[in-house]
Amino acid sequence: MKRKILICDDDEGILEMLEMVLDAEDYDVTTEQNSLKMFDRMAQVQPDMLILDLWMPVLSGDQITAKVRSTPAYQHLPILIISASRDGAEIAKNAGASAYLAKPFDIGDFMDAVEKLDTQSAA
């Protein structure tokens, strides 16, 4: 059974690139550009992991993460936050993210982070 990943980033180019990479690794990928739609998408998709951009219009990745962490059904969902922010790692950690990756990132590092979170959540 394919593991489901839901990605939210306001940059369409990033979404397309990550979707291609994860599709090639046999993940079932859903993308969402509008952060306000994330909770509806989560209910539809029932993802095994979230990948969130930190800085997005309206709802930021750390706001989404904090809300996910306060929702019992999603409390233990692995969340990878990606960002070009200098303070991104600290913000992601404080919000409750499982992992953080600074943009721009190497695809190998990205896949390592995803696979590590996937292995931890499947255990």
Q: What CATH number is associated with residue 56?
A: 3.40.50.2300
Task: Provide the number of structural domains found in the chain.
Answer: 1
How many C-beta neighbours within 10 Å does residue 74 have? 17
Q: Tell me how far apart the alpha carbons of residues 3 and 33 are, in angstroms, rounded to a whole number.
A: 21
Stretch 70-92: mean pLDDT, rounded?
Answer: 94
Residues spanned by the domain of 49: 4-122
Question: For 96, what's the count of Cα atoms within 13 Å in the CB-facing half-sphere?
Answer: 15
Q: Tell me how far apart the alpha carbons of residues 57 and 27 are, in angstroms, rounded to a whole number.
A: 27
Token pair 């969130």 is at which residue? 52
- Closest listed residue to residue 8, CA positions, set 59, 67, 72: 59
Stretch 70-89: mean pLDDT, rounded?
Answer: 94
Tokens found for residue 17: 């690139």
Residue predicted with more confidence, 88 or 120: 88
So what's the pLDDT on residue 1?
79
So what's the pLDDT on residue 121?
78
So what's the pLDDT on residue 96?
96
So what's the pLDDT on residue 120?
83
| DSSP string covering 55-80 | S-SSS-HHHHHHHHHTSGGGTT--EE
pLDDT surpasses 70 at 123: no
